[in-house]
Structure 1
Amino acid sequence: MKNKSLNGAVQAVCLSMALGVGAGASILVAPQAAYAQSYSFSNVQIDGNQRVEDGTILTYAGIARGQRVSAGELNDAYQRILGSGLFESVDIAPQGNTLVISVVEYPTVNRIVFEGNQRIKDEDLAPMVQSQTRRVFSPRLAEQDAQTIAEAYTVQGRLAARVTPKVIRRNDNRVDLVFEIFEGGVSEVERISFVGNTIYTDRRLRRVVETKQAGLLRAIIKKDTFIADRIEFDKQLLRDFYMSRGYVDFRIQGVNGELAQERDGYFVQFNVEEGQQFKVGNVSVNSDLPEVDTDKFQNALRLRSGAVYNPARIENEIARLEKLAIREGLNFVRVDPRIDRNDRDLSLDVSFNLVRGERIFVERIDIEGNSTTLDRVVRRQFDVVEGDPFNPRAIRESAERIRALGFFAAVDVNAREGSTPQQVIVDVDVEEQPTGSLSFGGNYSSSSGFGAAISFSERNFLGRGQTFGFTVNTSSSARQYGINFVEPALMGRDLTFGLRLNYAETDSLGSSTYDTTNGIFSPSIAFPVSDNGRLQLNYKYLLSDISAGNAIGVDTNDMGVIATEAAEGERSSSSLGYLYTYDTARAGLSPVSRVRLEFGQDFGGVGGDTSYVKTSLKAIAQTQVWSEEVTLRATLEGGALNYSQGESRVTDRFTISPNLMRGFEYGGIGPREINGDEEDPLGGNYFAVARFEAEFPVGLPEEYGIAGGLFYDVGSVWGVNDNATGATGSEIVSSDFEARHVVGFSVLWDSALGPLRLDFSEPLKKSKYDEVKNFNLTVSTEF
């Protein structure tokens, strides 16, 4: 096209060169004269344009009437017109004193069509393309759009996807732009392997990385796609895993990703160097600042010599010391940790140096992207406000707290210089994500008939960071309604306010001889009392009623235990209580072991019809052994109910459930009244259960999410009122302490529906009237 457009100029040059050959001595001069030939046009003729104005084309050409131009300048004009992207072809030809510019305009886009796409809908693809209808068609832009669409499929793991832009000519110089899409199959991760690891197995390390393998049953159980950007995140996860366990020399030598020949699978291999495990050596606090009392800071340290080195614990100590400095009025004092390595005994000496930091203040905190969440929800995650001294570590911790809210899909926190060098502006950019759920369900059982369940939960209610939810469960024999509300920052402080409302009714079925009605109103407030401890204060108002059921057939002169309790009618109780929880996971003390303790008491008698003390205890200890392949867990739970006014009723006493002690039905152990074929569980004033369990791999590929477990449970429920007597001919059994023993095995499945636990149990020791349950299916949760 270029040669064509310069046809006249080239002919003139060739003619001049031919004349120079015949001129003898002028041979060397004639070519220069030829190249110096220029043109001057008094007229410009433009042909072929329909939409683009003549003046626009002349502007791109940059040639004025009467201007003398060379052949090279004509070529530059051609390039400028063609480079405008408005024309399919351009031709420039000098004709005497007239410059003729012939163009063929690009057509306009009539419509944009996507064909062959199933995984990504048209409405999701449309915003990706820059080509627009009723705009000039650009082949270059269409190719870019095709590449953008292909990249969207690559993110989904469809590396074989191809996108081809095609045009269909229409009348009036219009075209339909069609993107023909071949989506291809998912390029799954066939295998993840590790080279160089001796401390931890491939199985354990595969649980660390986010990328997962796809197994033989990938279409049914679980599958994962290969995403190149995720590998960098996996490398960081591996570093954090080893560093938190004291392997400070851990290195990733490289990651090899090999694509299968069919382009439908990847083989990923991490080459690692573990190094040796280091422990904490000497721990000290040093400072050259005269106003710093190093002894006071030394006494505040929790890090002890001999512990496995963990960077998270160092960060905790730094935060503790800097908070102490603020309480002591030492602004702009920063903690600079120094780590000294001792290769001989594999220890790291940690020295916390208190130094004078720069005098920089927070000018303001700007929050963007929170279309639903209120600014104050984000701001209260910061320990600093406008005008406070700037602490980079505190800003990083605030960013982590914002991410931990779970309200945002992405959180980016950065600090930049403010209006003066002594001020900074903290920019917070967030991206909202859904935080609510609404579910409907139904069920049927032979004992309770048809039932319906409705639940709603919102973790960021009205954008205020509050939790609100309600549940409705109904069946022919039971109805339950509940409302739960949590305000995590009452009055802008670290005070959690909760409100729980619940109402439940049960009808007698089968051998059960009574109906119950229970209602509860319970506000509470919780706050931290230490790094690992939290205290909750609560008030409870309970309303309960027991009435004769369908199966009861006794007169008032011959009433059993429950009939006697039902004769009291409706009863209310009012109590104040507390619950203290201690959890080592709050401070991240150990990634391998964890201890959680819960102890609470309710003191009844603040109004109501009864006075009592209800005590509950729960202690859990967990650790991982054998390269963290096996999890060992021990749990102890117990409770006591002591009345000083009134007596306990069946609705007040403790009842064992299959989740509390496996191997038995709900209310399957403990005191009960036996009257012929009727067996009424009475519950107990005391209970104690100890559970010991081990969870381990069973040899199946870990991508199936299936593990095994063994457990041993021992426990008992005992104690009824001293004056409790049965009806004539009835008998109260199992009122004394009698330990039951249960063993069994579990199948743990991390399914698409959630973590499921299938328990198969067999009681080793039980009482005559205990009700056994050898199988139980529950949703598994971590404490």
Structure 2
Amino acid sequence: MISLIRFNFIAVFTALFLFIGLASSPAEKITDISIQYMGAESVDQSAIMAQIRTKAGSELDPQIVEEDIKNLYSSGLVESVRVLTEPKGDGLKVIYLVQTRSTLGEISFIGNSISSNKLRKDTELEIGDSFDDTSLEKARVSLEATYKKKGYSNVGITYKVDGAQRPGFSRVTFVIDEGTLERLKKIKFYGNESFSDKVLSGQMMVKASRSFNPFKKNRGIDSAELEEDIIRIEEFYRDNGYLNARVSDVQREPDGDKVNLIIQVAEGKKFTINKVSVSGIKAISVSDVLPLLEMKNGRVYSSKGIQTDLSGLRKYYADNGYSNVRVTPRIDSASETTVNIEYSVSEGVQSTVELINITGNDQTLDKVIRRELAIAPGDVFSETRLDVSRNRLMGLGFFDAVSISPSDSSTPDHTDINIQVREKSTGTVNFGAGFSSIDNLVGFMDIVQTNFRLFGKPHRGAGEKIRLGVQYGRRRKDFQFDYTQPWLFDKKLAFSTGLYYRDLLYLSDKYDQTIAGGYMSLRKPLGEYTSLSFKSSLEKYEIDVDSDSSDTLKKEEGDYNRALFSVNYVLDTRDSQYLTRRGHRLSVGTDFSVGDVETYGVQFSGSKYFLLPFDTILSVSGRYRSVDGSGDIPIFEREFLGGASSLRGYEYREASSESLRDEQGEPLGGRTAAYFTAEYSFPLINLKKFRGHVFYDGGILSDKSWDFGGEYLSDFGVGVDLFLPMGPIRLDVAWPLNTDEWVEDEMRFQFNMGYQFR
């Protein structure tokens, strides 16, 4: 404001001075223009001249000079401007006398225990930028907030400006009086008869400092956080029936080198609900609404319960087309300890969807977005369907953000839906290395585009997916190309095809197995959580058996060509495929092959997850598969147990009875395999992506089809999981409970890192 007043005064005075001088004499010619500085030359003359229209050789015009002054102030380069004239030759020399704004050259701190680099970042001041008192005051306030957040509630900060080492630049020094760091020893409550100190302090973010905690920095009392905690305590009381509860006083009590918080609580009386009613309902029946409410006659009053009821009523109406419904609660006293609650509803009118407007999709085609929506023009407006649509669009992986909002339509009783998306890069190239106890060190590379367009240009935006994957190591070599069209013929029918080559040397020390083939598949969603898929493959297997192997194993050597057909049904309600906490997955499938290999088989698999207190997870999973056919079943179609993906107390494929081995002890597999795993997972040391687990595995392997008579093998163990962007890292330590001459009674490590073994 001061700069603005100064600008207006100088501009008016200068224009008036020039106007009076020129009004009494003819206009004079400008022979020279000069820039002179008051103070440091912190702005180059060329930058000043760029803002000035007055030119040497022209006649002096007071209106143009006034515009020059306005331009200089508007540029932010100057603090003040004066314009002077003096005779020179046969004309006038015009002098612009300027005081330029300070340019920041250094930022320093005095009295700080917090890192200077941290404080510089918090000031948001940049070296080389101009600054003024407003920006310095903003920086000072930000520094105070930093200190108070760390527990320095009495901090005082001032600043001073002086010259820097570089000419034309200024140094800003923040002088800090940190005061005393208030470390909290104990929280004491007074007046709390209904809840213990432990329960109330559990509602707070401010915690007493520990004498030693290697995983969390010890800090003082954050005053802003403490204010929020007072609100949390009062809300806790109101959620438990104490309608008039409040925190009446908070004091700090010195206790050695720390302080105690003394919190005085006035609980008041506990209220229950005498009667709950709903008024203003016309479109639906009150008897349909009352069972949906959380607040019921005789229950303890809860402000959170009222908010739940308000959200539930609005959502119920919004799902039935009443997007403009308003619900207002009214709470009246019925007695000294009871209240009546009335929800007053203003329904508005039922609306249908007219237009769906989409913006922000510069690459993604409109139809890719529209086909994922759970609502269409002509449908009754539904808020739940909007939420489902938003989740589906985010699930595509094409967008950083999706905003869906209703707006009034130009047609009465109709609603338009506005969808705004922010696209992100959908092409990725991932490469690196992984390690597992099965196939050792493997380098891998994945080239993926999840929003591809095969037909048409540009080759992006149609929601198709292509992938080229390579895994290369000493014990395995994989090459695979996949293409997926998720909406074949614009129907909810996913079509996939691909080619693959796999050289698997880790299966056995006695033989190598190579597979080359291609596939086509169709997948049809049957509901929100279920799907049915069909797959056909043409494959060539090569089995190369070592010369010193047993005669039994040598019979497996040779080339096999086959066509494989399979169908699979999946029910999947898991909340995440990355770290599952709730839900289940069931899969039922059958397959048969023709050609050199004539087999048929069935398989069942399932998993169930239970979220328990303290973010612990109990999971139970299992798998059953049996295969049969004409003649012998080749080794690549038989089932094996043991390793990181089944019985972890045994080496890979080594969970086998003596009857299912050759004379050299090499596992030959069976026609039927069944196993299950029970696992209990828990977080470790307050790190969200670091978890531990204990487990028990059990299973049977039989040489007969459809048989459960094989020897039961089991193990138990412990492990850790680390979830990283590059992929999960899993380490298990397990002990077998069944041993023989081929399986030693010793601990086994199972390790996976960097990619998913298959």
How does the TM-score come out when normalised to structure 2?
0.61
Q: Is the 8 A contact 1:48 1:105 kept in 2?
A: no
Distance 2:546 2:246 in 1: 73
Deviation at 1:663, TM superposition (A): 0.7
| 1:573 and 2:563 matched | yes
Residue from 578, 588, 607 that aligns with 1:619 = 607
Q: Is the 8 A contact 2:84 2:97 kept in 1?
A: no
**Corresponding residue number in structure 2 for 1:402:** 393
Q: Is the 8 A contact 1:165 1:179 kept in 2?
A: yes
Which amino acid is 2:539 matched to? L
Which amino acid is 1:429 matched to? Q
Deviation at 1:749, TM superposition (A): 4.3
Q: Is the 8 A contact 1:131 1:142 kept in 2?
A: no
Q: Which has the higher contact order (CA 8 A, sep 6+)?
A: 1
Which amino acid is 1:395 matched to? L
Q: Is the 8 A contact 2:390 2:404 kept in 1?
A: yes
5 Å-filtered alignment, 1:525-540, equals 525-529=523-527, 533-540=529-536
Cα–Cα, structure 1 residues 199 and 564, in superposed 2: closer, same or farther, change >3 Å?
farther
Q: Helix, strand or coil for the counterpart of 2:389?
A: helix
Deviation at 1:149, TM superposition (A): 11
5 Å-filtered alignment, 1:136-147, equals 139=132
Cα–Cα, structure 1 residues 514 and 129, in superposed 2: closer, same or farther, change >3 Å?
closer
Q: Helix, strand or coil for the counterpart of 2:510?
A: coil
**Corresponding residue number in structure 1 for 2:301:** none
**Corresponding residue number in structure 2 for 1:67:** none
Q: Is the 8 A contact 1:165 1:178 kept in 2?
A: yes
Cα–Cα, structure 1 residues 170 and 605, in superposed 2: closer, same or farther, change >3 Å?
closer
Q: Helix, strand or coil for the counterpart of 1:660?
A: coil
5 Å-filtered alignment, 1:134-173, equals 139=132
Q: Helix, strand or coil for the counterpart of 1:382?
A: coil
**Corresponding residue number in structure 1 for 2:299:** none
Distance 2:694 2:344 in 1: 49
Distance 1:649 1:682 in 2: 10
Distance 2:64 2:595 in 1: 91
Q: Is the 8 A contact 2:53 2:64 kept in 1?
A: no
Q: Is the 8 A contact 2:516 2:541 kept in 1?
A: yes
Q: Is the 8 A contact 1:671 1:735 kept in 2?
A: no
**Corresponding residue number in structure 1 for 2:627:** 642
**Corresponding residue number in structure 2 for 1:259:** none
**Corresponding residue number in structure 1 for 2:457:** none
Cα–Cα, structure 1 residues 104 and 693, in superposed 2: closer, same or farther, change >3 Å?
same
**Corresponding residue number in structure 1 for 2:27:** none
Residue from 466, 469, 480 that aligns with 2:467 = 469
Q: Is the 8 A contact 1:715 1:739 kept in 2?
A: yes
**Corresponding residue number in structure 2 for 1:543:** 539
Distance 1:661 1:450 in 2: 22
Q: Helix, strand or coil for the counterpart of 2:419?
A: strand
Q: Helix, strand or coil for the counterpart of 1:667?
A: coil
Distance 2:704 2:306 in 1: 51
Deviation at 1:534, TM superposition (A): 0.3
Deviation at 1:738, TM superposition (A): 0.7
Cα–Cα, structure 1 residues 609 and 471, in superposed 2: closer, same or farther, change >3 Å?
same
Q: Is the 8 A contact 1:149 1:163 kept in 2?
A: no
5 Å-filtered alignment, 1:319-358, equals 358=349
**Corresponding residue number in structure 1 for 2:21:** 43
Q: Helix, strand or coil for the counterpart of 1:573?
A: strand
Cα–Cα, structure 1 residues 364 and 682, in superposed 2: closer, same or farther, change >3 Å?
same
Deviation at 1:579, TM superposition (A): 1.8
**Corresponding residue number in structure 2 for 1:765:** 738
Which amino acid is 2:532 matched to? Q
Q: Is the 8 A contact 1:505 1:517 kept in 2?
A: yes
Deviation at 1:147, TM superposition (A): 9.4
Q: Helix, strand or coil for the counterpart of 2:737?
A: strand
Q: Helix, strand or coil for the counterpart of 1:570?
A: strand
**Corresponding residue number in structure 1 for 2:752:** 778
Q: Is the 8 A contact 2:323 2:381 kept in 1?
A: no
Q: Is the 8 A contact 2:493 2:522 kept in 1?
A: no
Q: Is the 8 A contact 2:323 2:351 kept in 1?
A: no
5 Å-filtered alignment, 1:464-613, equals 464-499=462-497, 501-507=499-505, 511-517=509-515, 519=517, 521-529=519-527, 533-552=529-548, 559-560=551-552, 562-567=553-558, 569-583=559-573, 585=575, 594-605=582-593, 609-613=597-601
Distance 1:743 1:475 in 2: 30
Cα–Cα, structure 1 residues 640 and 394, in superposed 2: closer, same or farther, change >3 Å?
closer
Distance 2:632 2:326 in 1: 61
Residue from 679, 693, 712 that aligns with 1:709 = 693
Q: Is the 8 A contact 2:602 2:625 kept in 1?
A: yes
Distance 2:412 2:399 in 1: 32
5 Å-filtered alignment, 1:213-252, equals none
Distance 2:244 2:494 in 1: 42
Distance 2:709 2:324 in 1: 61
Which amino acid is 1:710 matched to? V
Cα–Cα, structure 1 residues 692 and 397, in superposed 2: closer, same or farther, change >3 Å?
closer
Which amino acid is 2:639 matched to? F
Distance 2:447 2:174 in 1: 40
Distance 1:434 1:162 in 2: 46
Distance 1:593 1:445 in 2: 25
Distance 2:159 2:668 in 1: 70
Cα–Cα, structure 1 residues 705 and 511, in superposed 2: closer, same or farther, change >3 Å?
closer
Q: Is the 8 A contact 1:90 1:101 kept in 2?
A: no
| 1:411 and 2:396 matched | no
Task: Provide, for residues 95-137 of structure 1, a one-character-per-residue CA deviation record: whole Å limited to 9, x for no partner.
Answer: 9xxxx9975235699x9999999999xxx99x998999xxxx7
Q: Helix, strand or coil for the counterpart of 1:695?
A: strand
Task: Provide, for residues 185-215 of structure 1, a one-character-per-residue CA deviation record: whole Å limited to 9, x for no partner.
Answer: xxxxx99999999999999999x99xxx9x9
Which amino acid is 2:561 matched to? R
Q: Helix, strand or coil for the counterpart of 2:536?
A: strand
Q: Is the 8 A contact 2:162 2:171 kept in 1?
A: yes
Q: Is the 8 A contact 2:353 2:415 kept in 1?
A: yes
**Corresponding residue number in structure 2 for 1:20:** none
Q: Is the 8 A contact 1:756 1:779 kept in 2?
A: yes
Distance 2:423 2:141 in 1: 24
Q: Helix, strand or coil for the counterpart of 2:385?
A: helix
Distance 1:371 1:152 in 2: 41
Distance 1:536 1:463 in 2: 26
How does the TM-score come out when normalised to structure 1?
0.59
| Aligned-pair Cα RMSD in Å | 7.3
Q: Helix, strand or coil for the counterpart of 2:373?
A: coil
Q: Is the 8 A contact 2:329 2:344 kept in 1?
A: no
Distance 2:245 2:482 in 1: 47
Q: Is the 8 A contact 1:509 1:550 kept in 2?
A: no
Deviation at 1:651, TM superposition (A): 0.7
| 1:741 and 2:714 matched | yes
| 1:631 and 2:609 matched | no
**Corresponding residue number in structure 2 for 1:666:** 652
**Corresponding residue number in structure 1 for 2:112:** none
Distance 2:20 2:398 in 1: 69
Deviation at 1:447, TM superposition (A): 10
Cα–Cα, structure 1 residues 362 and 685, in superposed 2: closer, same or farther, change >3 Å?
same
Cα–Cα, structure 1 residues 247 and 140, in superposed 2: closer, same or farther, change >3 Å?
same
**Corresponding residue number in structure 2 for 1:364:** 355
How many residues align? The count is 653
Q: Is the 8 A contact 1:91 1:101 kept in 2?
A: no
Deviation at 1:667, TM superposition (A): 0.5
Distance 2:535 2:417 in 1: 41
Distance 1:481 1:204 in 2: 54
Which amino acid is 2:535 matched to? Y
Which stretch of the first structure deviates more once superposed, 137-146 or 747-756? Answer: 137-146
Distance 1:418 1:616 in 2: 51
| 1:652 and 2:637 matched | yes
Which amino acid is 1:537 matched to? S
Cα–Cα, structure 1 residues 476 and 695, in superposed 2: closer, same or farther, change >3 Å?
closer
Distance 1:483 1:231 in 2: 53
Task: Provide, for residues 694-748 of structure 1, a one-character-per-residue CA deviation record: whole Å limited to 9, x for no partner.
Answer: 23456xx4148654432222112222589xxxxxxxxxxx996011121222234
Distance 2:131 2:64 in 1: 18
